[in-house]
Amino acid sequence: MKVYLSIDMEGVGGIATMDQIVRGGHGYPRAQQLMTAEANAAIAGAFDAGAESVLVNDSHGTMDNLIHSELDPRARLIFGSPKLQCMAEGISADHDLALFVGYHAPSGSRGVMAHTYSGYFTEVRLNGEPVGEAEINALLAGALEVPVGLVSGDDVTCDLAERGFPGVTTVQTKVAHGFNAADSLAPSASCHAVREGAARAVRRAHEIRPTAVPDRLHLAIDMPTIASAELAEAIPGARRTGARTVERDLDSPSDVIGMVTVSYQLANQGLRSMLGPLHRV
């Protein structure tokens, strides 16, 4: 049983504010501790249930958040960015199960710090339906026949995961009270629940089907500004379907992630050009 673990930060117990999730914030070092503890909890749960290996991908922001010296030495760690497969970097057909820990709700939903890859995308849709990071990463895993066994995060994230991934184990670490507010488990309780959830997911891995990849992958991204939509329209094959909306048909989940990654940078660039030289994005 080879386990892949993608860990984000917004859905970790005890985290709800921007100050915690952006490097340089006063709360960020504390959030790194919380994220590392939940990564270790998931790793421990996977090994408790008989996993032979766990590959961790640091999936938040700079993708260099986990405190390496405190990481469970049984795990391997992918970190840093950019990475071609972004939050799902390193997943392969050798893996038997994927765990998504510390995840958050999609752009436009009411979850804690809800967004889809970029905080500046106002919505991302796949085949007409709003999607989050869990759905897109699950498609890449599905293309490799790897099922998603565990999703942890706030109540909105867990509700969506239960609807989208039949048989998945969810761990609700907090209840959303607003974009930057939550009623959270204490970190130790959150870690305990994640450890139990990861163990349950590994034990039940054979019961879960990988996410099916639809024949058609039509991605639409609502960009933050006209300028950023104009830049994204320049991506070969992309079409501008609204003042701020760019759409493109893609051949694979991997290409969906590529389109998102490039659009992420163009969203930032478009904002910079609008705000002028005195503002940094």
* Residues of this chain that bind Zn ion (CB under 5 A): 8-10, 60
Measured from the CB of residue 10, what is the shortest distance to Zn ion in angstroms?
Answer: 5
By beta-carbon distance, which residue lies closest to Zn ion? Answer: 60
Minimum Å gap between C-beta 230 and Zn ion is 27
Closest distance of CB 236 from Zn ion, Å = 28
Q: Which long-range contacts (CB under 8 A, 24 or more apart) does 172-181 make?
A: 173/11, 173/12, 173/13, 173/38, 173/102, 174/11, 174/13, 174/16, 174/112, 176/105, 176/110, 176/111, 176/112, 178/112, 179/112, 179/113, 179/114, 180/16, 180/17, 180/18, 180/112, 180/113, 181/16, 181/112
Cβ distance to Zn ion smaller for residue 8 or 222: 8
Q: How far is the CB of 59 from Zn ion (least distance, A)?
A: 7
Q: Is the peptide bond before 106 cis (omega within 30 degrees of 0)?
A: no
Question: What is the rounded distance in angstroms from the CA atom of residue 179 to the CA atom of residue 122?
Answer: 14
Judged by CB, which is closer to Zn ion: 173, or 245?
173
For residues 8 and 38, which CB has a smaller minimum distance to Zn ion in the complex? 8
Q: Which of the residues 60, 95, 104, 115 is marked catalytic?
A: 115
Q: Quote the tokens at residue 194.
A: 């994640």
Residue 218 catalytic? no
Encoding tokens for residue 235? 């991506």
Residue among 190 and 245 whose Cβ is closer to Zn ion: 190
Q: Which residue, 63 or 193, has its beta carbon nearer to Zn ion?
A: 63
DSSP conformational letter for 163: H
Using CA atoms, how far apart are residues 251 and 214, in angstroms rounded to an integer? 10
Question: With the CA atoms of 188, 189, 195 and 200 taken in that order, what torsion angle do they form, in degrees rounded to the nearest 10?
Answer: 180
Shortest spacing between CB 60 and Zn ion, in angstroms = 4
Instruction: State the Cα angle at 43 between 42 and 45, rounded to 5°.
Output: 65
Which of helix, strand or coil describes residue 263?
Answer: helix
- Residues assigned a catalytic role: 115
